[in-house]
């Protein structure tokens, strides 16, 4: 058995071996920490995105049901006979009524809702009252798209936009007016992107801090031991 005499120093090979073991532990911890960080970020990102998509689909479904109900009720309140007989008087009458019934004043649902009431004569539409908005499409699509023998409502879905058109008939059963209600839920989509980004950044920061704190208990002790050994050898 070999004993170090007082004043002897540890062989260079033992020093190199200790330093190599410490460096290997540090490299292993760094690698595992990075792997855990990537795994957590990917998992959280997938979960948040999945929940967001589910929420948006449910919101769109609720919005469409509300649009159809509101437009149907408003169309029942509009007289196609009045519009056919005196469209100017009808425009004044229904202007305030429809604004009250169809304008969305709830800013918390993150949608933009607009409407238009049109007089239908000689194969063309003339707006009587409504919003001046690019979201309205009634005058940009062929009449044959929404004018059918059944007189049923016409709906069209675009990217983040929903259009609902309800034909209104006179006493003779002929279409004399058209009510359009359209909604855009792009603001909610933008809010979802921002919220998803904030949650992901928060998770990344939290994971980095946690891994850093966890790694210190493996990194600091070897460093302190090396410093202590150097100080001890220096005093011998």
pLDDT digits (tens, 9 = 90+) for 59-108: 888 889 999 999 999 999 999 999 999 999 999 999 888 988 887 655 55
Helix (H) and strand (E) counts for the chain? Answer: 5, 5
Residue percentage of the chain with pLDDT more than 70: 77
Tell me how crowded residue 83 is: count the other CB atoms within 10 A of its CB. Answer: 26
pLDDT-derived band of residue 3, with 50, 70 and 90 as boundaries? very low
pLDDT-derived band of residue 16, with 50, 70 and 90 as boundaries? low
Closest CA to 148 of 121, 175, 124: 175
pLDDT tens digits for 30-59?
Answer: 777 777 777 777 787 777 777 878 877 888
Superfamily covering domain 80-186 = GAF domain (3.30.450.40)
**Does 149 or 179 have the greater pLDDT score?**
179
Is the pLDDT at 113 greater than 70, yes or no? Answer: yes
Tell me how crowded residue 138 is: count the other CB atoms within 10 A of its CB. Answer: 22
pLDDT tens digits for 194-214?
Answer: 777 888 788 778 777 777 777
Delimit the domains of the chain by residue range. 80-186
Closest CA to 139 of 126, 150, 148: 126
φ, ψ for residue 74, nearest 5 deg: -65, -40
């Amino acid at each position: 058995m070999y004993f170090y005499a007082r004043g002897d120093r540890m062989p260079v090979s033992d020093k190199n071996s200790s330093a190599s073991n410490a460096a290997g532990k540090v490299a292993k911890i760094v690698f595992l920490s990075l792997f855990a960080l990537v795994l957590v970020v990917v998992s959280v990102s997938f979960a948040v995105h999945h929940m967001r998509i589910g929420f948006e689909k449910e919101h769109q479904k609720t919005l469409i049901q509300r649009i159809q109900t509101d437009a149907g009720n408003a169309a029942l309140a509009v007289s196609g006979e009045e519009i056919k007989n005196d469209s100017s008087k009808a425009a004044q009458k229904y202007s305030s009524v429809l604004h009250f019934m169809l304008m969305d004043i709830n800013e918390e649902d993150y949608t933009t809702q607009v409407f238009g009431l049109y007089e239908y004569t000689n194969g063309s539409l003339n707006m009587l009252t409504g919003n001046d908005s690019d979201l309205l499409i009634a005058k940009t699509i062929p009449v044959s798209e929404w004018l059918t023998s059944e007189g049923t409502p016409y709906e069209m879905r675009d990217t983040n936009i929903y259009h609902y058109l309800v034909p209104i008939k006179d006493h003779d059963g002929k279409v004399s007016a058209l009510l359009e209600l359209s909604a855009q839920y792009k603001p909610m989509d933008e809010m979802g992107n921002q919220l998803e980004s904030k949650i992901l950044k928060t998770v990344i920061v939290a994971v980095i801090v946690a891994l850093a704190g966890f790694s210190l208990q493996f990194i600091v002790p070897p460093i302190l031991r090396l410093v202590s050994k150097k100080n001890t050898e220096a005093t011998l």
